[in-house]
Amino acid sequence: MMSEKKDIRALTKTELREFFVSEGDKAFRGNQVYEWLWSKSAHSFEDMTNISLETRKMLEDNFVINHIKVDHMQRSSDGTVKNAVKLHDGLIVESVLIPTESRTTACVSSQVGCSLDCNFCATARLKKMRNLNPDEIFDQVAAINQESLLYYNHKLSNIVFMGMGEPLMNYNNVLKAIEKITSPEGLGISPRRITVSTSGLPKMIKKLADDEVKFNLAVSLHSAIDEVRSEIMPFSKAFPLKDLKESLEYWYAKTESRVTYEYVVWKGINDSKEAINALVKFCKYIPCKVNLIEYNPIDDGDFQQANQQAISDYISILEMNDIIVNVRRSRGKDIDAACGQLANKKS
């Protein structure tokens, strides 16, 4: 029986070089093939024209090149583009291109579905099916980069890991993908332009700090009061805010990189003065900024965006305390491409 062929893009450059040496070829051949796979996005061994026919045949016999396919693309009236991406096993994830005047941002997924259970997020309702591989994450970014060139005439400028899934529950693959995205042989995008957003897993935040990553960190805080936070994000019962605080202090001590707190204000949940004061206190632990995100309703109405007065109170009290605060309007709502709306629904 024939053994199953391996995905060649799961190999590192070193592994690829070693493979060629073990086949009696030169290590350098590994570099050539690596370049075809990553910077030239080759979809088949046939494309690798500077590799001999015989070697291409040998690769064909041993490996496959799994590539994602943009299955369905939608464009919003505000220019946002949503890709439904089909993986080699038929599962679907979504990624989004968000244009602003000066830049384009890719919002990419790290898991099929999500491991966590935030009550306000549509993705949480899909059960987690699997982690994405590094190449599947990389391919989403490469596809959006091409769309950015096509529609907006410039390369992708920023990447946020705010699509489906919890990136820090797929730690190794997300880091491997970022390595490819930032390397000159991949897309050469600076890590300073990449933000990984986590719902706040203290151990993994410390691991990021230990690994001395150079990208930005965002934490979906939504409440700085344990009882409230564990009500709306039940998994967080296991990760009290004091642990989160401690991990963020550790992160800042090692990286000196300011953290962004993502925060939605909901009616009757976190729109009180007490909630604001708790956030102010939390923001004093390390240098940070707060992004107030507009709520994107996902259904029934347990969660409703707070009124404008509550948002204004947040802004003025944060600013009074010298905390940077931005209000992030939603993009792509008409095509279910906004935060928390990614749930493989075609509109």
Residue 111 CB, shortest distance to ligand SAH, in Å, is 9
Contacts with ligand SAH by CB under 6 A: the residue count is 17
Residues 6+ apart with CB under 8 A from 324: 288, 289, 290
CA distances to 2, 127, 268, 270 from 304, rounded to whole Å, are 56, 24, 9, 11
One-letter amino acid identity for 337? A
With binding defined as CB under 6 A, does residue 170 bind ligand SAH?
A: no
Q: Judged by CB under 6 A, which of 162, 205, 241, 337 binds ligand SAH?
A: 162
Q: Label residues 184-203 b or e (16+ Cβ within 10 Å = b).
A: eebbebebebbbbbbbbbbe
User: What angle do helix axes 202-210 and 241-255 make, rounded to 10 degrees?
Assistant: 10
Compute the least distance from the CB of residue 118 to ligand SAH, in Å.
Answer: 6
Which region holds residue 281: left if phi is over 0, alpha if psi is between -120 and 50, else beta? alpha
Q: Positive or negative, the Cα torsion across 217, 219, 224, 226? A: negative
Least Å distance, CB 142 to ligand SAH, is 20
The minimum distance between CB 74 and ligand SAH, in angstroms, equals 18
Nearer of residues 80 and 198 to ligand SAH, judged by Cβ:
198
Nearest residue to ligand SAH, by Cβ distance, number only: 340
| Residue 118 known to be catalytic | no
By CB under 6 A, tell whether 296 contacts ligand SAH. Answer: yes
For residue 75, how many other CB atoms are within 10 A of its CB?
16
Query: CA of 43: how far to CAs of 46, 99, 144, in Å?
Result: 9, 28, 17
- Provide the minimum distance between the beta carbon of 63 and ligand SAH in the complex, in angstroms, as a whole number: 32
In the residue annotation, 288 being an active-site residue is answered as no
215, 208, 154: which is closest to 190 by C-alpha?
215
94, 147, 166, 262: the catalytic one is 94
Confirm or reject binding of residue 199 to ligand SAH (CB under 6 A).
Answer: yes
Using CB under 6 A as the binding rule, whether residue 171 contacts ligand SAH is answered as no
* Residues in Cβ contact with 81 at an 8 Å cutoff, skipping those fewer than 6 apart: 73, 74, 75, 96, 97, 144, 147, 151, 332, 337
Report if residue 96 touches ligand SAH, rule: CB under 6 A.
no
| Piece in contact with ligand SAH (CB under 6 A), picked from 177-185, 194-202, 236-244, 275-283 | 194-202
In this structure, what are the phi and psi dihedrals at residue 343, rounded to the nearest 5 degrees? -150, 30
Tell me: does residue 255 bind ligand SAH (CB under 6 A): no
Give the interface segment with ligand SAH, choosing from 15-23, 115-123, 141-149, 251-259 (CB under 6 A).
115-123
Q: Report if residue 262 touches ligand SAH, rule: CB under 6 A.
A: yes
> Which residues have a catalytic role annotated?
94, 339
Per CB under 6 A, residues contacting ligand SAH are: 118, 120-121, 162, 166, 197-199, 220, 262, 264, 293, 295-296, 298, 339-340
